[in-house]
A and B are shown apart, each in its own frame.
Chain A
Amino acid sequence: MLITELKNKETILSLLEGKVFVIVCHGCREIHFPEHEADALLAELVAGGNVTGSITTDYICNVDNLKLRLQRHAAAIDSADTLLVLSCGVGVQTVAGLYPAKRVIAGCDTYALPGFQGVTPLEYDCRQCGECYLNLTGGICPITACSKSLVNGQCGGAKNGMCEVDPNMECGWERIQRRLAQIGRLDVLKCPVQVRNYATDDDVK
């Protein structure tokens, strides 16, 4: 089981820039998703007048499914500066991967509960760390894309852009750096020092 919770409203609002398109994913059967809170937030954003459109759907972790569902929203997505995604960590990464030039914001934190963890496609992985970092990393998960799960930047071990642990794997922080440069958000690297909270992480029992 996974539990997805909305980040607090102030945090989400502080991350939204310009016009916003909202993607809400009610997820798979293994996820507990805060549907009512998400609906309320969406209604509030729409009332605020900055929303170009929204979609409430499921299984956005499946990229083909996601493309199909978003087809008829192409214009609204095009005219948005920010895509706000309310889903588990995999969903956000899938959207970020599909729109490499857009600012993609994770509106939720994902926690794990014992049991089946849902159907995760191979391209993206979420370890349900309980404190989603995707807003600081351009939508690339530092927990799974970095061999040391570093949350404050690259270690000294990358060689030719590849990870010191696995020369066949591109360094996750190399990807994050490139992505942030691409979306013009290198400023997020000046965020406060991050210290992980393992009290919310089911990975360490």
Chain B
Amino acid sequence: MRITELFDNGEFVVTAEVGPPKGIDASHVVEEAKEYLSGITAVNVTDNQSSVMRMGSLPACVMLKNAGLTPILQLTCRDRNRIALQSELLGAAALGIENILCLTGDHTKMGDHPGAKPVFDLDSVSLLHTVCQLEKGVDLAGNALVGEAPKFAKGAVVSPCSDSVDAQLAKMERKVMAGAEYFQTQAVFDSEKFISFMEKAKQFGKPVQLGVIIPKSAGMAKFMNNNVAGVHVPQWMIDELAADKEKAKAGITGVELAAKVIKECRPYCQGLHIMALGWEAKVPELLKLAGI
């Protein structure tokens, strides 16, 4: 199932993301997803997130699919040139993957192999354009594909709370031009910022899923403020997380805060994307509290 069909039906689409293991045994990822994420629409599988080497996104997507979930293949331009990316897309379609999310990817210097060659032959925009070409039955160089062309729901990301919001909106528009059909956002903690972003982003006419992280502690919130691009946790949330350490540790505070953001933003967006960061087990509770 392509998630764009659900957006078209006016459904509020909920996705969450999981990361493949740094190893060959992905059973716990699949088990956790089955247990806690079966109720939602689809599950993103990250592609060597933060440039940290792990099992690839595609094999983990196939494992989730075999377990009855709908995977979204994340594809970055960091490690592969246009030949490898197109090849991966054909393979994904052949294996029944119907949803993708196209990203530029973090620089290799940010990860656990800082000496690796950063590729960036394509970027998120030209990758989306490439996917559209494949869907037309030709590759990026204009050569015809043999047989049936692939068809994907093509997603992209945007960072509503970035301090470069104009550059982000300009990039979003380029992604739409290049063929993006839906957007997932970087984590939002400040509803007002998200709502004013959506005022400008709605002109592009594409569904946007609010990105949410369940904050685990005041320390984590401060770390994100200092180190994660496009993320800003307001001071009052940090204070709340710091006020009752036990409550925060148990996840109760984080789930309450995330649910509040979801409730405030829900009228302005078309779905929700949860980055659980190991707290997959709290997703059902979060959805319940947020009234979804």
Contact = CB atoms under 8 A, between A and B. Distances in A.
B159 interface: yes
B106 A158 contact: no
B125 A158 contact: no
A156 B230 contact: yes
A168 to B, nearest CB: 14
Given A148-B120, A148-B123, A189-B174, A156 B104 contact: yes
A150 interface: yes
B167 interface: yes
Nearest to B78: A148
B107 interface: yes
Given A150-B104, A152-B171, A190-B173, A158 B164 contact: yes
B164 A161 contact: yes
B229 interface: yes
Interface stretch (A60-68, A102-110, A191-199): A191-199
Q: How many interface residues does chain B have, given as a range?
A: 35 or more
Q: Summarize A's interface: helix, strand, loop or mixed.
A: loop
Interface in A135-175: 147-161, 164-165, 171, 173-174
B122 to A, nearest CB: 7
A146 to B, nearest CB: 9
A159 B167 contact: no
A153 B125 contact: yes
Contacts of A160: 163
Contacts of A153: 123, 125, 167, 170-171, 174
B174 A161 contact: no
Contacts of A70: none
Given A156-B159, A193-B129, A174 B106 contact: no
A190 B173 CA distance: 8
A177 interface: yes
B164 A174 contact: yes
A164 B164 contact: no
Nearest to B227: A159
Interface of B: 82, 103-104, 106-107, 109-110, 118, 120-126, 128-129, 140, 157-159, 162-164, 166-168, 170-171, 173-174, 177-178, 186, 227-230
19 contacts: A148-B118, A151-B123, A152-B174, A153-B123, A154-B164, A156-B157, A156-B230, A157-B110, A164-B229, A165-B107, A165-B109, A165-B110, A173-B167, A177-B164, A193-B129, A193-B174, A193-B177, A195-B82, A195-B122
